[in-house]
């Protein structure tokens, strides 16, 4: 496979006490730059604007108002890109920011512009870093503009760039027959070929404190990709060199593949 989309969540970029996890930024920069140098085309979908913004402002609770949250996100997105730019530059890798809203699906003209931008960046061996544009897309209120979450956004991005694979990194090492956080006897699935209602029913709970979607949104992303003849791997973000192993074909995490 050549074109790869990698999605990383807030819980993998922040420490448990809400601080930026600089080691993770560094490792991500190292792994993705190395792959890029080896000829892979890499797109990174990164959450974390809210978490990074809260750390920057030294606050521990999300503002209640939506404009308040959007303000933190605006601050955090800027700071997060600053971190990416700096850490990737240590590996001589340039990144570019792409902020998206749902209208790329509604308006073919917008989609065309987005596709052209991705292609131009990848052509220049630059790694696009994608996030939802929280200034425009408002949570819950606006289903026209909001993707819902970055898990589903990453699946849409994988489809529009024609990716060979989406690597979905999480705080969990794969998809289990029941929520392993609350069921120690849960067993890992190595392969899922169809995301049925039965499969969806095995995802429980709301996910981590920092994560937003939990397992449901990851399954929706997988279902979308399977419908579009693409594949997804769900794996743990703790040691990011796992990305090398996945691309070398080792059986790691859960493969969603037909």
User: CB under 6 A: which stretch of 36-44, 74-82, 166-174, 238-246 binds ligand ADP?
Assistant: 166-174
* 255 belongs to the binding site for ligand ADP (CB under 6 A): no
Question: What is the SS3 string spanning the chain?
Answer: CCEEEEEECHHHHECCCCCECHHHHHHHHHHHHHHHHCCCEEEEEECCHHHHHHHHHCCCCCCCCHHHHHHHHHHHHHHHHHHHHHHHHCCCCCEEEEEECCHHHHCHHHHHHHHHHHHHHHHCCCEEEEEECCCCCCCCCCCCCCCCCHHHHHHHHHHHCCCCEEEEEECCCCCECCCCCCCCCCCECCEECCCCHHHHCCCCCCCCCCCCCCHHHHHHHHHHHHHCCCEEEEEECCCCCHHHHHHCCCCCCEEECC
Write out the two tokens for 71.
């303000």
By C-beta, is 159 or 181 nearer to ligand ADP?
181
- Exactly one of 175, 224, 255, 256 binds ligand ADP (CB under 6 A); that residue is 175
Q: Does 51 engage in binding with ligand ADP (CB under 6 A)?
A: no
243 binds ligand ADP (CB under 6 A): no
Site for ligand ADP, residues 183 to 212, rule: CB under 6 A: 202-205, 207-208, 210-211
Among 85, 97, 159, 179, binds ligand ADP (CB under 6 A): 179
Q: Which is nearer to ligand ADP, 73 or 170 (CB)?
A: 170
Q: Which of 71, 171, 245, 257 binds ligand ADP (CB under 6 A)?
A: 171
Q: Which stretch binds ligand ADP (CB under 6 A): 15-23, 32-40, 56-64, 170-178?
A: 170-178
- Nearer to ligand ADP among residue 33 and residue 150 (C-beta): 150
Cβ proximity to ligand ADP: between 69 and 208 the closer is 208
What character string, x for contact with ligand ADP (CB under 6 A) and - otherwise, covers 11-50? Answer: xx--------------------------------------
CA distance 162 to 41: 11
Backbone angles phi, psi at 37, to 5 degrees: -65, -30
**Complex with ligand ADP: residue 34 or 181, whichever CB lies closer:** 181
Residue with smaller CB distance to ligand ADP, 106 or 206: 206
* Site for ligand ADP contains 213 (CB under 6 A): yes
Name the pairing type of β-strands 165-170 and 3-8: parallel
End-to-end CA distance of the chain: 16
Interface residues with ligand ADP (CB under 6 A) are 9, 11-12, 170-172, 175-176, 178-181, 202-205, 207-208, 210-211, 213-215
């Amino acid at each position: 496979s050549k074109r790869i989309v990698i999605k990383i969540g807030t819980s993998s970029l922040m420490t448990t006490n809400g601080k930026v996890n600089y080691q993770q930024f560094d490792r991500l920069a190292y792994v993705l730059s190395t792959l890029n140098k080896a000829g892979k085309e890499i797109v990174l979908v990164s959450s974390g604007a809210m978490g990074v913004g809260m750390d920057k402002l030294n606050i521990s609770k999300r503002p209640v108002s939506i404009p308040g949250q959007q303000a933190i996100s605006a601050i955090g997105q800027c700071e997060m890109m600053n971190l990416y730019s700096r850490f990737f530059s240590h590996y001589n890798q340039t990144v570019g920011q792409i902020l998206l809203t749902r209208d790329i699906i509604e308006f073919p003209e917008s989609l065309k512009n987005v596709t052209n931008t991705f292609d131009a960046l990848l052509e220049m061996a630059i790694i696009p870093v994608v996030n939802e544009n929280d200034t425009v897309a408002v949570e819950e209120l606006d289903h026209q503009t909001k993707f819902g979450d970055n898990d589903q956004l990453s699946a849409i991005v994988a489809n529009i760039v024609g990716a060979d694979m989406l690597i979905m990194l999480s705080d969990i090492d794969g998809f289990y027959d029941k929520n392993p956080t609350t069921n120690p006897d849960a067993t890992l699935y190595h392969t899922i070929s169809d995301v049925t209602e039965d499969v969806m029913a095995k995802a429980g709970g709301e996910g981590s404190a920092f994560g937003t979607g939990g397992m449901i949104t990851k399954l929706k992303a997988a279902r979308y990709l399977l419908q579009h003849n693409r594949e997804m791997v769900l794996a743990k973000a703790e040691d990011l060199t796992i990305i090398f192993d996945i691309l070398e074909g080792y059986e790691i995490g859960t493969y969603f593949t037909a």
